[in-house]
A and B are shown apart, each in its own frame.
Chain A
Protein backbone atom coordinates (compact mmCIF):
# COMPACT_ATOMS: atom_id res chain seq x y z
CA UNK A 1 0.00 0.00 0.00
CA UNK A 2 2.91 2.30 0.60
CA UNK A 3 4.58 1.97 -2.74
CA UNK A 4 4.16 5.05 -4.90
CA UNK A 5 2.21 4.32 -8.09
CA UNK A 6 2.42 7.74 -9.68
CA UNK A 7 4.88 10.34 -8.68
CA UNK A 8 4.73 13.84 -10.13
CA UNK A 9 7.69 16.04 -9.34
CA UNK A 10 8.16 19.74 -10.09
CA UNK A 11 6.07 19.45 -13.19
CA UNK A 12 5.89 22.54 -15.40
CA UNK A 13 4.12 22.97 -18.68
CA UNK A 14 3.60 25.88 -21.01
CA UNK A 15 1.36 26.44 -24.00
CA UNK A 16 3.53 28.97 -25.77
CA UNK A 17 3.81 31.77 -23.21
CA UNK A 18 0.96 30.48 -21.13
CA UNK A 19 2.11 28.68 -18.00
CA UNK A 20 -0.57 25.98 -17.55
CA UNK A 21 1.05 23.83 -14.90
CA UNK A 22 3.25 25.38 -12.26
CA UNK A 23 5.57 23.27 -10.13
CA UNK A 24 3.09 20.46 -9.58
CA UNK A 25 4.07 17.91 -6.94
CA UNK A 26 1.80 14.98 -6.29
CA UNK A 27 2.43 11.41 -5.14
CA UNK A 28 -0.27 8.80 -5.50
CA UNK A 29 0.25 5.58 -3.57
CA UNK A 30 -0.64 2.19 -4.96
CA UNK A 31 -4.31 1.54 -4.27
CA UNK A 32 -4.98 5.15 -3.47
CA UNK A 33 -7.82 7.16 -4.97
CA UNK A 34 -7.24 10.84 -5.57
CA UNK A 35 -9.91 13.23 -6.77
CA UNK A 36 -8.84 16.44 -8.48
CA UNK A 37 -11.19 19.39 -8.59
CA UNK A 38 -10.91 23.05 -9.38
CA UNK A 39 -12.38 25.75 -11.55
CA UNK A 40 -12.56 25.46 -15.32
CA UNK A 41 -9.26 26.15 -17.01
CA UNK A 42 -7.21 25.43 -13.89
CA UNK A 43 -5.24 22.69 -15.65
CA UNK A 44 -6.85 19.53 -14.29
CA UNK A 45 -7.19 17.81 -17.64
CA UNK A 46 -3.77 18.94 -18.71
CA UNK A 47 -2.25 17.47 -15.56
CA UNK A 48 -3.72 14.00 -15.91
CA UNK A 49 -3.06 13.99 -19.65
CA UNK A 50 0.58 14.58 -18.82
CA UNK A 51 0.57 11.39 -16.78
CA UNK A 52 -0.03 9.21 -19.84
CA UNK A 53 1.76 11.70 -22.04
CA UNK A 54 -1.12 12.67 -24.26
CA UNK A 55 0.40 16.05 -23.45
CA UNK A 56 4.12 16.66 -23.45
CA UNK A 57 5.60 18.66 -20.61
CA UNK A 58 8.66 20.86 -20.66
CA UNK A 59 10.02 20.51 -17.16
CA UNK A 60 9.84 18.08 -14.23
CA UNK A 61 9.30 14.35 -13.95
CA UNK A 62 6.46 11.90 -13.80
CA UNK A 63 7.22 8.37 -12.69
CA UNK A 64 4.78 5.53 -13.02
CA UNK A 65 5.56 2.50 -10.86
CA UNK A 66 8.91 3.97 -10.04
CA UNK A 67 10.17 4.71 -13.52
CA UNK A 68 9.84 7.31 -16.21
CA UNK A 69 8.88 5.19 -19.20
CA UNK A 70 9.89 6.73 -22.52
CA UNK A 71 8.20 4.18 -24.74
CA UNK A 72 4.81 5.85 -24.93
CA UNK A 73 2.65 2.89 -25.99
CA UNK A 74 4.18 0.87 -23.16
CA UNK A 75 3.56 3.69 -20.68
CA UNK A 76 -0.03 4.02 -21.81
CA UNK A 77 -0.68 0.33 -21.37
CA UNK A 78 0.22 0.76 -17.72
CA UNK A 79 -2.16 3.67 -17.23
CA UNK A 80 -5.77 3.44 -18.34
CA UNK A 81 -7.70 6.56 -19.28
CA UNK A 82 -11.39 7.39 -19.43
CA UNK A 83 -12.47 10.52 -21.28
CA UNK A 84 -15.32 12.92 -20.80
CA UNK A 85 -16.57 12.20 -24.33
CA UNK A 86 -16.15 8.38 -24.03
CA UNK A 87 -14.25 8.23 -27.35
CA UNK A 88 -15.32 4.72 -28.14
CA UNK A 89 -14.40 3.62 -31.66
CA UNK A 90 -17.70 3.90 -33.56
CA UNK A 91 -16.70 1.52 -36.33
CA UNK A 92 -16.06 -1.37 -33.94
CA UNK A 93 -18.39 -3.40 -31.74
CA UNK A 94 -18.25 -3.02 -27.98
CA UNK A 95 -16.34 -6.27 -27.78
CA UNK A 96 -13.85 -5.28 -30.45
CA UNK A 97 -13.38 -1.89 -28.79
CA UNK A 98 -12.15 -3.85 -25.80
CA UNK A 99 -10.06 -6.47 -27.60
CA UNK A 100 -8.36 -4.18 -30.13
CA UNK A 101 -5.45 -3.14 -27.95
CA UNK A 102 -5.08 -6.58 -26.39
CA UNK A 103 -4.68 -8.28 -29.76
CA UNK A 104 -2.68 -5.52 -31.40
CA UNK A 105 -0.55 -4.13 -28.63
CA UNK A 106 -0.27 -7.09 -26.27
CA UNK A 107 -0.35 -9.68 -29.10
CA UNK A 108 -2.87 -11.73 -27.17
CA UNK A 109 -4.79 -14.23 -29.23
CA UNK A 110 -8.36 -13.45 -30.14
CA UNK A 111 -10.07 -16.01 -27.90
CA UNK A 112 -8.10 -15.05 -24.82
CA UNK A 113 -8.68 -11.36 -25.51
CA UNK A 114 -12.40 -11.89 -25.88
CA UNK A 115 -12.55 -13.81 -22.66
CA UNK A 116 -10.80 -10.99 -20.84
CA UNK A 117 -13.01 -8.41 -22.51
CA UNK A 118 -16.19 -10.23 -21.51
CA UNK A 119 -14.92 -10.46 -17.94
CA UNK A 120 -14.30 -6.72 -17.88
CA UNK A 121 -17.66 -5.99 -19.47
CA UNK A 122 -19.21 -8.14 -16.78
CA UNK A 123 -17.41 -6.08 -14.20
CA UNK A 124 -18.99 -2.88 -15.53
CA UNK A 125 -22.32 -4.74 -15.85
CA UNK A 126 -22.75 -4.46 -19.57
CA UNK A 127 -21.70 -7.85 -20.84
CA UNK A 128 -24.99 -8.43 -22.68
CA UNK A 129 -24.28 -5.47 -24.99
CA UNK A 130 -20.98 -6.88 -26.21
CA UNK A 131 -21.99 -7.28 -29.83
CA UNK A 132 -23.63 -3.90 -30.25
CA UNK A 133 -22.03 -0.82 -31.73
CA UNK A 134 -21.25 2.09 -29.40
CA UNK A 135 -23.86 4.44 -30.84
CA UNK A 136 -26.59 1.93 -30.05
CA UNK A 137 -25.87 2.45 -26.36
CA UNK A 138 -26.84 5.19 -23.95
CA UNK A 139 -24.19 7.60 -22.69
CA UNK A 140 -23.90 5.84 -19.37
CA UNK A 141 -23.47 2.47 -21.06
CA UNK A 142 -20.87 3.88 -23.43
CA UNK A 143 -18.87 5.28 -20.57
CA UNK A 144 -18.93 1.95 -18.78
CA UNK A 145 -17.66 0.29 -21.94
CA UNK A 146 -14.89 2.86 -22.05
CA UNK A 147 -13.95 1.89 -18.50
CA UNK A 148 -13.96 -1.80 -19.45
CA UNK A 149 -11.82 -1.05 -22.48
CA UNK A 150 -9.23 0.58 -20.27
CA UNK A 151 -9.38 -2.23 -17.69
CA UNK A 152 -8.66 -4.82 -20.37
CA UNK A 153 -5.04 -3.71 -20.49
CA UNK A 154 -4.69 -4.56 -16.78
CA UNK A 155 -3.51 -1.04 -16.00
CA UNK A 156 -1.57 -0.24 -12.85
CA UNK A 157 -3.58 2.95 -12.49
CA UNK A 158 -6.59 4.64 -14.02
CA UNK A 159 -7.11 8.25 -15.00
CA UNK A 160 -10.60 9.70 -15.28
CA UNK A 161 -11.22 13.08 -16.88
CA UNK A 162 -14.69 14.25 -15.85
CA UNK A 163 -16.19 10.89 -16.79
CA UNK A 164 -19.74 11.93 -15.90
CA UNK A 165 -19.82 15.50 -17.20
CA UNK A 166 -21.25 14.55 -20.59
CA UNK A 167 -23.94 12.33 -19.10
CA UNK A 168 -27.59 12.93 -18.46
CA UNK A 169 -28.25 13.09 -14.70
CA UNK A 170 -30.02 9.74 -14.55
CA UNK A 171 -26.96 7.95 -15.94
CA UNK A 172 -24.36 9.48 -13.71
CA UNK A 173 -24.97 7.06 -10.88
CA UNK A 174 -24.40 3.88 -12.88
CA UNK A 175 -20.99 5.14 -13.92
CA UNK A 176 -20.03 6.36 -10.46
CA UNK A 177 -21.09 3.02 -8.99
CA UNK A 178 -18.76 1.20 -11.33
CA UNK A 179 -15.96 3.55 -10.39
CA UNK A 180 -16.67 3.05 -6.69
CA UNK A 181 -16.44 -0.71 -7.21
CA UNK A 182 -13.09 -0.26 -8.86
CA UNK A 183 -11.89 1.79 -5.93
CA UNK A 184 -13.17 -0.91 -3.59
CA UNK A 185 -11.09 -3.46 -5.48
CA UNK A 186 -8.01 -1.36 -4.80
CA UNK A 187 -7.43 0.25 -8.18
CA UNK A 188 -5.14 3.24 -8.10
CA UNK A 189 -7.15 6.15 -9.47
CA UNK A 190 -6.75 9.78 -10.31
CA UNK A 191 -10.13 11.21 -11.03
CA UNK A 192 -11.00 14.70 -12.19
CA UNK A 193 -14.61 15.24 -11.19
CA UNK A 194 -17.00 17.68 -9.64
CA UNK A 195 -19.13 14.91 -8.16
CA UNK A 196 -18.43 15.83 -4.57
CA UNK A 197 -20.59 13.05 -3.18
CA UNK A 198 -18.40 10.56 -4.99
CA UNK A 199 -15.27 12.33 -3.80
CA UNK A 200 -16.40 12.22 -0.20
CA UNK A 201 -17.29 8.55 -0.42
CA UNK A 202 -14.39 7.21 -2.45
CA UNK A 203 -11.41 9.52 -2.36
CA UNK A 204 -8.50 9.08 0.01
CA UNK A 205 -7.38 12.62 -0.76
CA UNK A 206 -8.81 15.55 -2.67
CA UNK A 207 -6.56 17.84 -4.65
CA UNK A 208 -7.75 21.35 -5.34
CA UNK A 209 -6.16 23.10 -8.31
CA UNK A 210 -6.40 26.69 -9.41
CA UNK A 211 -4.55 28.60 -12.10
CA UNK A 212 -2.15 25.76 -12.80
CA UNK A 213 -1.18 25.18 -9.19
CA UNK A 214 -2.02 22.59 -6.58
CA UNK A 215 -3.56 24.82 -3.96
CA UNK A 216 -4.64 22.32 -1.37
CA UNK A 217 -4.46 18.59 -0.74
CA UNK A 218 -6.47 17.01 2.05
CA UNK A 219 -8.55 13.98 3.00
CA UNK A 220 -12.24 14.52 2.19
CA UNK A 221 -13.36 15.13 5.77
CA UNK A 222 -11.04 18.02 6.43
CA UNK A 223 -11.22 19.21 2.82
CA UNK A 224 -14.94 19.84 3.04
CA UNK A 225 -15.21 20.68 6.73
CA UNK A 226 -12.17 22.84 7.08
CA UNK A 227 -10.64 24.08 3.84
CA UNK A 228 -7.40 25.93 4.55
CA UNK A 229 -7.11 28.11 1.49
CA UNK A 230 -9.37 31.03 0.63
CA UNK A 231 -9.57 29.95 -3.01
CA UNK A 232 -10.69 26.48 -1.96
CA UNK A 233 -13.39 27.95 0.20
CA UNK A 234 -14.68 30.19 -2.56
CA UNK A 235 -14.74 27.24 -4.95
CA UNK A 236 -16.57 24.99 -2.52
CA UNK A 237 -19.15 27.65 -1.80
CA UNK A 238 -19.88 27.85 -5.48
CA UNK A 239 -20.34 24.19 -6.17
CA UNK A 240 -21.85 22.82 -2.98
Chain B
Protein backbone atom coordinates (compact mmCIF):
# COMPACT_ATOMS: atom_id res chain seq x y z
CA UNK B 1 0.00 0.00 0.00
CA UNK B 2 1.25 3.44 -0.82
CA UNK B 3 1.28 6.19 1.76
CA UNK B 4 -1.64 7.96 0.13
CA UNK B 5 -3.69 4.76 0.11
CA UNK B 6 -2.98 4.33 3.79
CA UNK B 7 -3.81 7.96 4.48
CA UNK B 8 -7.13 7.65 2.64
CA UNK B 9 -7.80 4.42 4.51
CA UNK B 10 -7.36 6.26 7.79
CA UNK B 11 -9.65 9.05 6.68
CA UNK B 12 -12.42 6.47 6.42
CA UNK B 13 -12.57 6.80 10.19
CA UNK B 14 -12.91 10.58 10.05
CA UNK B 15 -16.71 10.50 10.14
CA UNK B 16 -16.68 8.65 13.47
CA UNK B 17 -14.09 11.07 14.88
CA UNK B 18 -16.21 14.04 13.81
CA UNK B 19 -19.51 12.52 14.96
CA UNK B 20 -18.22 11.82 18.44
CA UNK B 21 -16.75 15.32 18.55
CA UNK B 22 -20.05 16.92 17.54
CA UNK B 23 -22.11 14.96 20.05
CA UNK B 24 -19.42 15.49 22.66
CA UNK B 25 -19.86 19.26 22.26
CA UNK B 26 -23.57 18.83 22.94
CA UNK B 27 -22.65 17.46 26.35
CA UNK B 28 -19.62 19.61 27.06
CA UNK B 29 -20.95 23.11 26.43
CA UNK B 30 -24.18 22.97 28.46
CA UNK B 31 -22.44 21.09 31.26
CA UNK B 32 -19.59 23.59 31.44
CA UNK B 33 -21.99 26.55 31.54
CA UNK B 34 -24.46 25.10 34.03
CA UNK B 35 -21.87 23.57 36.35
CA UNK B 36 -19.62 26.63 36.25
CA UNK B 37 -22.46 29.07 36.92
CA UNK B 38 -23.91 26.84 39.62
CA UNK B 39 -20.59 26.45 41.37
CA UNK B 40 -20.09 30.19 41.30
CA UNK B 41 -23.53 31.18 42.59
CA UNK B 42 -24.50 28.42 44.99
CA UNK B 43 -23.29 28.74 48.55
CA UNK B 44 -23.01 26.49 51.56
CA UNK B 45 -24.11 22.87 51.35
CA UNK B 46 -25.92 23.39 48.04
CA UNK B 47 -22.60 23.90 46.41
CA UNK B 48 -21.07 20.63 47.59
CA UNK B 49 -22.92 18.30 45.19
CA UNK B 50 -22.04 20.54 42.24
CA UNK B 51 -18.39 20.52 43.22
CA UNK B 52 -18.52 16.75 43.73
CA UNK B 53 -19.99 16.17 40.27
CA UNK B 54 -17.43 18.43 38.64
CA UNK B 55 -14.57 16.77 40.51
CA UNK B 56 -15.84 13.31 39.58
CA UNK B 57 -15.82 14.12 35.88
CA UNK B 58 -12.60 16.07 36.03
CA UNK B 59 -10.40 14.04 38.34
CA UNK B 60 -11.12 10.59 36.99
CA UNK B 61 -9.02 9.62 33.97
CA UNK B 62 -11.12 9.79 30.84
CA UNK B 63 -10.28 6.24 29.81
CA UNK B 64 -11.47 4.95 33.18
CA UNK B 65 -14.68 6.97 32.82
CA UNK B 66 -15.29 5.64 29.36
CA UNK B 67 -14.77 2.01 30.32
CA UNK B 68 -16.74 2.51 33.50
CA UNK B 69 -19.83 3.72 31.71
CA UNK B 70 -19.43 1.48 28.70
CA UNK B 71 -19.37 -1.63 30.86
CA UNK B 72 -21.45 -0.55 33.86
CA UNK B 73 -24.54 0.92 32.25
CA UNK B 74 -25.64 -2.37 30.66
CA UNK B 75 -25.26 -4.08 34.04
CA UNK B 76 -27.60 -1.46 35.42
CA UNK B 77 -30.00 -2.14 32.58
CA UNK B 78 -29.22 1.00 30.56
CA UNK B 79 -28.35 0.28 26.96
CA UNK B 80 -26.66 3.13 25.12
CA UNK B 81 -24.73 2.73 21.91
CA UNK B 82 -20.98 3.27 21.94
CA UNK B 83 -21.26 6.67 20.26
CA UNK B 84 -23.49 7.98 23.00
CA UNK B 85 -21.32 6.62 25.80
CA UNK B 86 -18.20 8.04 24.16
CA UNK B 87 -19.77 11.43 23.49
CA UNK B 88 -21.19 11.63 26.98
CA UNK B 89 -18.06 10.66 28.90
CA UNK B 90 -15.74 12.75 26.73
CA UNK B 91 -18.15 15.66 26.71
CA UNK B 92 -18.68 15.72 30.45
CA UNK B 93 -14.97 15.24 31.16
CA UNK B 94 -14.01 18.16 28.95
CA UNK B 95 -17.06 20.10 30.15
CA UNK B 96 -15.92 19.71 33.75
CA UNK B 97 -12.65 21.39 32.83
CA UNK B 98 -14.62 24.01 30.94
CA UNK B 99 -16.76 24.71 34.00
CA UNK B 100 -13.65 25.85 35.86
CA UNK B 101 -12.88 28.31 33.09
CA UNK B 102 -16.48 29.54 33.16
CA UNK B 103 -16.21 30.13 36.87
CA UNK B 104 -12.85 31.84 36.58
CA UNK B 105 -14.22 34.06 33.82
CA UNK B 106 -17.21 34.99 35.98
CA UNK B 107 -14.89 35.89 38.82
CA UNK B 108 -12.70 37.95 36.55
CA UNK B 109 -15.60 40.09 35.37
CA UNK B 110 -15.76 43.57 36.76
CA UNK B 111 -18.10 43.73 39.78
CA UNK B 112 -19.32 47.08 38.51
CA UNK B 113 -20.99 45.39 35.56
CA UNK B 114 -23.33 43.41 37.79
CA UNK B 115 -24.08 46.42 39.94
CA UNK B 116 -24.82 48.57 36.92
CA UNK B 117 -27.18 45.90 35.61
CA UNK B 118 -29.00 45.58 38.92
CA UNK B 119 -29.15 49.36 39.20
CA UNK B 120 -31.10 49.68 35.98
CA UNK B 121 -33.63 47.22 37.33
CA UNK B 122 -32.61 43.87 35.83
CA UNK B 123 -32.97 40.71 37.87
CA UNK B 124 -29.88 38.73 38.82
CA UNK B 125 -30.76 36.18 36.14
CA UNK B 126 -31.15 38.84 33.51
CA UNK B 127 -27.81 40.32 34.49
CA UNK B 128 -26.21 36.90 34.13
CA UNK B 129 -27.77 36.20 30.75
CA UNK B 130 -27.59 39.61 29.13
CA UNK B 131 -24.51 41.16 30.69
CA UNK B 132 -22.14 38.65 32.22
CA UNK B 133 -22.31 35.68 29.86
CA UNK B 134 -21.99 37.73 26.65
CA UNK B 135 -18.93 39.50 28.02
CA UNK B 136 -17.47 36.21 29.15
CA UNK B 137 -17.95 34.68 25.76
CA UNK B 138 -15.15 36.76 24.32
CA UNK B 139 -12.83 36.11 27.24
CA UNK B 140 -13.55 32.41 27.01
CA UNK B 141 -12.98 32.05 23.31
CA UNK B 142 -9.36 30.87 23.58
CA UNK B 143 -10.27 28.42 26.31
CA UNK B 144 -13.12 27.13 24.20
CA UNK B 145 -10.82 26.46 21.26
CA UNK B 146 -8.32 24.71 23.51
CA UNK B 147 -10.99 22.52 25.08
CA UNK B 148 -12.31 21.71 21.65
CA UNK B 149 -8.87 20.44 20.68
CA UNK B 150 -8.78 18.29 23.80
CA UNK B 151 -12.17 16.87 22.87
CA UNK B 152 -11.09 15.94 19.35
CA UNK B 153 -7.92 14.32 20.66
CA UNK B 154 -10.02 12.47 23.22
CA UNK B 155 -12.04 10.83 20.47
CA UNK B 156 -9.01 8.65 19.70
CA UNK B 157 -10.04 6.63 22.74
CA UNK B 158 -13.25 5.39 21.14
CA UNK B 159 -11.04 2.95 19.26
CA UNK B 160 -10.77 1.15 22.59
CA UNK B 161 -14.53 0.67 22.86
CA UNK B 162 -14.97 -0.97 19.46
CA UNK B 163 -15.70 2.13 17.37
CA UNK B 164 -13.97 2.59 14.04
CA UNK B 165 -12.51 6.07 14.19
CA UNK B 166 -9.24 7.11 12.57
CA UNK B 167 -7.14 5.51 15.28
CA UNK B 168 -9.04 2.22 14.96
CA UNK B 169 -8.60 2.39 11.18
CA UNK B 170 -4.84 2.56 11.71
CA UNK B 171 -4.99 -0.64 13.72
CA UNK B 172 -7.11 -2.30 11.04
CA UNK B 173 -4.69 -1.22 8.35
CA UNK B 174 -1.77 -2.69 10.24
CA UNK B 175 -3.48 -6.08 9.90
CA UNK B 176 -3.39 -5.63 6.13
CA UNK B 177 0.10 -4.35 5.64
CA UNK B 178 3.22 -4.24 7.77
CA UNK B 179 4.36 -0.66 7.51
CA UNK B 180 4.21 1.02 10.93
CA UNK B 181 6.03 4.21 9.90
CA UNK B 182 3.56 4.86 7.09
CA UNK B 183 0.47 3.85 9.04
CA UNK B 184 1.18 5.69 12.24
CA UNK B 185 2.81 8.53 10.36
CA UNK B 186 -0.38 8.91 8.35
CA UNK B 187 -2.45 8.76 11.52
CA UNK B 188 -0.37 11.49 13.13
CA UNK B 189 -0.63 13.51 9.95
CA UNK B 190 -4.42 13.17 9.89
CA UNK B 191 -4.82 14.50 13.43
CA UNK B 192 -2.20 17.14 12.78
CA UNK B 193 -4.02 18.45 9.70
CA UNK B 194 -7.27 18.43 11.61
CA UNK B 195 -6.01 20.18 14.72
CA UNK B 196 -2.94 22.26 13.91
CA UNK B 197 -5.05 25.13 12.52
CA UNK B 198 -7.10 25.09 15.72
CA UNK B 199 -3.93 25.09 17.83
CA UNK B 200 -2.61 28.11 15.98
CA UNK B 201 -6.01 29.80 16.22
CA UNK B 202 -6.17 29.14 19.97
CA UNK B 203 -2.73 30.66 20.47
CA UNK B 204 -3.69 33.66 18.39
CA UNK B 205 -6.91 34.20 20.33
CA UNK B 206 -5.02 33.93 23.59
CA UNK B 207 -2.77 36.73 22.49
CA UNK B 208 -5.64 38.89 21.28
CA UNK B 209 -7.99 38.36 24.18
CA UNK B 210 -5.11 38.45 26.61
CA UNK B 211 -4.55 36.04 29.38
CA UNK B 212 -6.61 37.34 32.27
CA UNK B 213 -4.64 35.31 34.71
CA UNK B 214 -2.45 32.25 34.62
CA UNK B 215 -4.95 30.55 36.84
CA UNK B 216 -7.75 30.93 34.34
CA UNK B 217 -6.00 28.41 32.18
CA UNK B 218 -4.74 26.37 35.06
CA UNK B 219 -7.22 23.59 34.39
CA UNK B 220 -6.76 23.50 30.68
CA UNK B 221 -4.62 20.43 30.44
CA UNK B 222 -6.96 17.49 30.50
CA UNK B 223 -5.30 14.17 29.99
CA UNK B 224 -5.83 13.29 26.37
Whether A and B touch directly in their complex, counting CB atoms under 8 A apart, is answered as no
